[in-house]
Homo-oligomer: A and B are copies of this chain.
Amino acid sequence: MKASQFYINTLKEAPADAEVVSHQLMTRAGMIKKLGAGVYTYMPMGLRVIRKVEAIVREEMNRAGAVECVMPVVQPGELWSESGRFQTMGPELLRVKDRHERDFVIQPTSEEAVTDIARQDLRSYKQLPKNLYQIQTKFRDERRPRFGLMRGREFVMKDAYSFDRDEAGAKASYQAMAKAYRAIFDRFGLTYRAVSADSGAIGGDLSEEFQVIASTGEDAIVYSTGSDYAANMEKAEALAPAGPRPAATQALTRTPTPGKSTCADVAELLQLPLTQTVKSLVLATDELNEQGEIVKSQVWLLLLRGDHDMNEIKVSKVPGLDKGFRFATVPEILAHFGTKPGYLGPIGLKQPVKLVADREVALMADWVCGANEEDLHLTGVNWGRDLPEPDLVVDIRNVVAGDAAPDGKGQLAIERGIEIGHIFYLGTKYSVAMNATFLAEDGKPRHFEMGCYGIGITRLPAAAIEQNHDERGIIWPDALAPFTVVICPVGMDRSEAVKAAAEALYADLLAAGVDVILDDRGERPGAMFADWELIGVPHRVTIGDKSLKEGQVEYQHRRDGEATKVPAGDIAAFVKGRLLA
C-alpha cells in the first residue's frame, strides 16, 4: 500500500470524551470515528487491525473444527420469547418493531438463532458434534457507553456455539475451544490470563474468561504466585484460615465510639488493627404468594472482617439467599436491631435474624462490632461466650492479595485485566427452553448439550493498546499492526536516489508478502514520524539522501530508543529477519 492511495487522518488532540488511552489513541490515529454515542465507524486504518484479528480468529476456529456462518443482526422477538430472554433481559437488549408492529431485537448474542438452526438441521446423534460460529455485528444498549471500542454499543463479536450429544462431549468441545482460544491469544502476542469465571445468568457450571493484562483494566483478576490457579474476583475462593479459633483473652466491653460509624474510624479511634473489626451487612429475603405479593420476609445479618469486601456472587450462592435477596430496608433494620446502620452487630437483637459469618470472621477472637446502640461499639467479642455460633459459615468475601491460593500452592496476587474472550459450558439451558432435540443412539429424542464461546473482535485492538502504548502512541504487536512495516523516505520528491531506494525496498517486501506501507505523501520528516509512531507500526525504515550517499538507511522498531544504521543493500533482509524474530 502506498500512503497516498490510502486514507490517513491523524489528529493532534483526542476528543474530550475519550477517557481511556485506547480511545484517545485510536481516535487520534484515525482508526475509529464516532458516529453517535457508543457507535463508531471503523476507519480504513482501524479496519485493517480488525481484519487481522478476524483472520487469526477464523483460522484457529476452523482449525478447531468449527464452521462459519452468519446469523442475522435483526432477529424475531418471537424466538427470543422462547428462551425467555425477550422478557428477562433489561434495556441493554435493543428492541425494535417492524412496519407490521412485530417485535424484533438487534442481536447481542445468538443462542436463540443458532438453537433454532440446530433443532431444524441436526436431527441425529450422527451429525454431532457441531460447532457453528459467526463474526458479526452485535448491539448492546449500554446505559453509559464509553471508552471507545472498549464498551461500545455496536461491536463485532466472534460467537461460537457447540452442540453435543452428552455432557462429556460438550466438555470436550469446551476444552477444544479453550485450547483454540489460547492459540488465538498467543498469536496476537498479548500478555493475557485465562481465569475461571462464574457462569452467572447464562447458566451452566464451567466458564473461563480470557483477560488481557493492563493496569487500566476494569476487571480484577486473581492468580496464584505458586501455581496455575487464576480466577476472576467474582469467582476466586477465599479459603478458611488455618484453625482453630484463638481463645478469648478480653472481656466483652461496651466502648463509646461517638460519630464513628465505619470500621476504619472505629479502629483508628480505638487504636486497633482494622483486621480486629467486624462489619455487619443486613440483607433480606422475601417469600411470595402466587400473586407475587410478599407474604413473609426474613432478615439476614452477614459478618465480614472490617478490611474485607462482600462478594455479591458468592452471597447469591449461600443456601437461603440463592433464590434472590435484597438489602434490608431501614424499618426492617430498626425493627431487628433497634438502631440505624453504622452501629449494628450480632449481639442484643430485638428480633432474631439468620446469622451468616464469613469463614474469616468465624475464626476470630476478641473482635469489635457495633453494639446496636448509636455511638457505641462492643470490643472483646468472642463466639460461644458472647453470642451463639453463626447459623452459617461460608466464603462471602472478595479475596485480597496475600490470601492463600485455593489450590494450596502459593499466595494470591491481584492484577487488572480487560476481558476479550469468554467460554461457557451451557448444558441444556437453551435446548430445553426451545425444545431442541436430536435422536440419540437409542432412538429417543434428547436435548443438545451446548457451549458458547465469544471473542470481542473490536474490543481486542483496544485492549491491545491499553497494554501496548507509550507517550507517543500505539505500539502494535506485529500480528495486529495495520501495517507491519512503514518505509519513510525523506525528501522523496527531491532525490531520485531516495525514491528509487524506497520503491525498491517496497517492491521487495511486498513480493515477500510483508504488509508494508510506503509513505509517499511528501510530509516533512517530523510529521511523518509522529504519524507512524502514533499509528504504532512496529517496524520503520527511514531512507534519507545524506545517509543513503554513505550507503546507509535506518531501521527502528517502535520500541527502540533510537535508530540502527543498516547498509542499504542489506535492509530488506534485515527487516525480514526482524519480522521472523
User: A-side interface residues toward B, CB under 8 Å?
Assistant: 5-7, 9, 30, 33, 35-36, 39-44, 47, 50, 65, 67-76, 78-79, 91-92, 94, 96, 98-99, 104, 106, 113, 116-117, 120-121, 130, 132, 136-137, 139, 141, 143, 153-154
Which residues of B lie under 8 Å from residue A30 when comparing CB positions?
121
With A and B bound together, what is the CA distance between A234 and B574 in angstroms?
A: 62
For residue A120, which residue of chain B has the nearest CB? B33
A146 → B minimal CB distance (Å): 14
Closest 4 CB pairs of A and B: A36-B76, A91-B99, A42-B70, A7-B67
For residue A44, which residue of chain B has the nearest CB? B67
A553 → B minimal CB distance (Å): 28
Judging by beta carbons under 8 Å apart, are A44 and B72 in contact? no
Which residues of B lie under 8 Å from residue A72 when comparing CB positions?
35-36, 39-41, 154
13 contacts between A and B (CB under 8 A): A7-B69, A33-B120, A35-B71, A35-B76, A36-B75, A39-B75, A41-B69, A41-B72, A47-B69, A50-B70, A73-B139, A94-B96, A96-B106
With A and B bound together, what is the CA distance between A153 and B75 in angstroms?
A: 11
Which residues of B lie under 8 Å from residue A41 when comparing CB positions?
69-72, 113, 117
Copies in the complex: 2
Listed residue (A30, A36, A78, A130) with the most chain B CB atoms within 10 angstroms of its CB = A36
With A and B bound together, what is the CA distance between A117 and B39 in angstroms?
A: 13
A365 → B minimal CB distance (Å): 50
Which residues of B lie under 8 Å from residue A43 when comparing CB positions?
69, 117
With A and B bound together, what is the CA distance between A572 and B243 in angstroms?
A: 75
With A and B bound together, what is the CA distance between A82 and B193 in angstroms?
A: 46
Which residues of B lie under 8 Å from residue A73 when comparing CB positions?
73, 106, 137, 139, 154
With A and B bound together, what is the CA distance between A7 and B65 in angstroms?
A: 10
A63 → B minimal CB distance (Å): 10
With A and B bound together, what is the CA distance between A88 and B143 in angstroms?
A: 30
A65 interface neighbour in B5, B36, B120, Cβ under 8 Å: B5
Q: A94-B96, A132-B7 are in contact. Are A74 and B139 (CB under 8 A)?
A: yes
With A and B bound together, what is the CA distance between A69 and B31 in angstroms?
A: 10
Q: A36-B75, A99-B91, A120-B33 are in contact. Are A44 and B65 (CB under 8 A)?
A: no
Which residues of B lie under 8 Å from residue A92 when comparing CB positions?
99
A489 → B minimal CB distance (Å): 19
Judging by beta carbons under 8 Å apart, are B70 and A106 in contact? no
For residue A7, which residue of chain B has the nearest CB? B67
A10 → B minimal CB distance (Å): 10
Q: A42-B69, A69-B42 are in contact. Are A74 and B98 (CB under 8 A)?
A: no
With A and B bound together, what is the CA distance between A249 and B76 in angstroms?
A: 67
